[in-house]
Amino acid sequence: MFDKLKEKLGGFKKLIGGAIENNEKAVISAEKPVGKEDERADTQVEAPKIPEKISLIQKIKAAVIEQEFIIEEKSLKDHLWELEMALLESDVALPVTEKIVENVKIELIGTRRKIGSDTGKIVENALRQAISKVISVDSFDFDAFIKSSPKPVTIVFVGVNGTGKTTTIAKMAERFKEQGYSVVIAAADTFRAGAIEQIERHAESLGIKLIKHQEGADPAAIVYDAIQFAKAKHKDVVLADTAGRLHTNINLMDQLKKVCRVNNPNLIIFVDEAIAGNDAVERARLFNNAVPFNGTILTKQDADAKGGAAISIAYTTGKPILFLGVGQSYKDLVRFDPNWLLDRLFE
């Protein structure tokens, strides 16, 4: 998982670490007094040019008195460009890439570090902080929300076909059952051939009640019936499948808007696959514009070597990642935690 991105970040750590060490050596050299032999020499070594922001006096004072050195932008500039290229090659969206690079600059440039510090650790901490800031938007405690909300809680799942949306609903149903909640599933994808049969097989395997109509029926009516059933039978959670659609299919998008308008769900969750990279990020942005959702579930995260979607999607939409699908079984669903992702990027 994230192997390619880990490799690129590891290479960047070495490059920047080396640049910072050279920066440190240059400062130490600059603060050494000039000896008599040096004074008689025909040529003198010119001290490195100092950015206007940081004077030579400041650098020498930091090195001599405080045993620190100041990280300068000129020593990192080329390598920051390489970081930008590495992130883009890992399917991190351009605005997110630019924000991460900006955050790294803020974390490093102009800061003071102790002479002899572990430069690799300095760079890793800067990268962790920079990435953390773009994946930690709008923190949302999903379990606390479910627990405190009046029952039944209705959750509508949206996204395009083929991304694992229906299987994700089954995984969520299993998770709710393990937490002691009673669940009803609404088979509101009446557009795709075989969709009702697919969700019906999952419901039977999990022992969960399925509310369905015939193919081509009104999805909003199916979700409504599922909610009414849940109220009558005192069920806790209604999970609604919907037809996978592209944002360009106006009729299906209008149908989805009707489902949400008529039933006023507690949560709308966007589902896409992590391996889709920038395509998933763009679809999330377009869906969020059409039917604003509350959070994202990324499927097939275990097969994603790049990690671009996981890093980009929350920052792009302003909505949190809630869960990650990491396998084929019903239990292969993990709650998203920014620290979990960061630990895997830098393990």
Q: Which residues contact 266 (CB under 8 A, 6 or more apart)?
A: 145, 149, 153, 154, 155
Q: What is the dihedral sign for C-alpha 306, 310, 311, 312?
A: positive
Q: At what angle do helices 195-206 and 165-178 cross, to 10 degrees?
A: 20
Q: Which residues contact 214 (CB under 8 A, 6 or more apart)?
A: 190
- pLDDT, tens digit, 9 for 90 and up, residues 274-303: 888 888 888 888 888 888 999 999 998 887
Residue whose structure tokens are 């883009």: 88
What percent of the chain has pLDDT above 90? 36
Cβ pair 224, 260 in contact under 8 A: no
Q: What 8-state DSSP symbol labels residue 34?
A: P
- pLDDT, tens digit, 9 for 90 and up, residues 41-80: 333 333 333 344 555 445 444 444 444 556 666 767 777 8
Q: Which residues contact 242 (CB under 8 A, 6 or more apart)?
A: 156, 157, 158, 188, 189, 219, 256, 259
Give average pLDDT by consecutive 10-residue segment, the chain, 347 residues.
74 69 56 44 37 47 46 70 87 90 82 59 85 83 95 95 91 96 94 85 95 88 96 97 74 86 96 87 86 92 79 88 92 90 83
| pLDDT for res 191 | 80
| pLDDT for res 1 | 64
* Nearest-angstrom CA–CA distance, 233 and 302: 38
CA-closest candidate to residue 184, choices 223, 231, 145, 235 = 235
* Nearest-angstrom CA–CA distance, 14 and 19: 9
Q: Which residues contact 23 (CB under 8 A, 6 or more apart)?
A: 69, 71, 72, 75
265-288: string of b/e by CB count within 10 Å (b at 16+)? bbbbbbbbbbbbbbebbbbbbebb
Structure tokens at 273: 């696959």
| Prior bond of 219 cis (ω within 30°) | no
